[in-house]
């Protein structure tokens, strides 16, 4: 397994619509394992989608285990929302690719998803509450959408400005950085 680097907005790789996998083979299973390892290494990550590690494939993982409560990690390929509730809920979201910013996002309260599991079997899952929110957040990543894209342009641009400013100081090697005017 390998821990990969998680990219952050406004990286253009996060805006790409990812491609379905043909089938869940060993290569896709390895990607799922790498996503899990990368997510566990990131504090408090509950989900991770392949485009966040620059892999433009429709693959995601979710693990809502918290403290005492342990659940099996979920691995999905080619997930599709096949039903969503009329009822919507607003909840605070964060994203490993939008570090240190949180905002209320409105989404359907429950969804039914169809996906391929680790064994390449077609499955359907009814999700509600936090799981429903996470699945929608991760599927958004596969479509090149971030939670900030659900906010007003003013809020989104404010967050993006702060992130690009922060990146100038943190991810660019000092010798490669242009002088900050």
Are 134 and 73 in contact by the 8 Å Cβ rule? The answer is no
Which residue's C-beta sits nearest to Ni ion? 95
Taking the complex as a whole, how short is the minimal distance between the CB of residue 134 and ligand GNR, in angstroms? 5
Taking the complex as a whole, how short is the minimal distance between the CB of residue 132 and Ni ion, in angstroms? 15
Contact partner at residue 94 from Ni ion, ligand GNR, none, CB < 5 to 8 Å by partner kind: ligand GNR
Is residue 142 near Ni ion by the rule CB under 5 A? Answer: no
- Segment near ligand GNR (CB under 6 A); pick from 68-76, 80-88, 137-145, 158-166: 137-145
Site for ligand GNR in 7-46 (CB under 6 A): 44-46
Strand pairing partners for 112? 83, 126
Contact partner at residue 150 from ligand GNR, Ni ion, none, CB < 5 to 8 Å by partner kind: none
Is residue 95 near Ni ion by the rule CB under 5 A? Answer: yes
- Segment near Ni ion (CB under 5 A); pick from 29-37, 93-101, 102-110, 148-156: 93-101
The CA R_g of the chain, rounded to the nearest whole Å, is 17
Taking the complex as a whole, how short is the minimal distance between the CB of residue 116 and ligand GNR, in angstroms? 19
Taking the complex as a whole, how short is the minimal distance between the CB of residue 45 and ligand GNR, in angstroms? 4
121 is catalytic: no
**Distance between CA 161 and CA 164 in Å, rounded?**
5
Catalytic residue positions?
A: 138
Chain positions contacting Ni ion, by CB under 5 A: 95
Chain positions contacting ligand GNR, by CB under 6 A: 44-49, 52, 93-97, 133-134, 137-138, 141
């Amino acid at each position: 397994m390998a821990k990969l680097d998680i990219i952050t907005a406004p990286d253009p790789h996060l805006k790409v619509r990812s491609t379905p996998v043909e089938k869940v083979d060993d290569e896709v299973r390895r990607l799922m394992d790498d996503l899990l390892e990368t997510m566990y290494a990131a504090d408090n990550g509950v989900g991770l989608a392949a485009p966040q590690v620059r892999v433009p494939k429709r693959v995601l993982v979710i693990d809502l285990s918290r403290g005492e409560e342990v659940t099996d990690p979920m691995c999905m390929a080619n997930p599709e929302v096949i039903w969503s509730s009329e009822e919507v809920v607003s909840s605070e979201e964060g994203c490993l690719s939008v570090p240190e910013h949180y905002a209320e996002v409105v989404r359907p309260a429950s969804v039914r998803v169809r996906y391929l599991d680790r064994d390449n079997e077609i499955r359907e899952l009814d999700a509600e509450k936090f799981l429903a929110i996470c699945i929608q957040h991760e599927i958004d990543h596969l479509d090149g959408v971030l939670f900030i894209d659900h906010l007003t342009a003013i809020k989104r641009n404010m967050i993006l400005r702060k992130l690009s400013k922060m990146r100038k100081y943190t991810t660019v090697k000092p010798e490669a950085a242009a002088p900050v005017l």
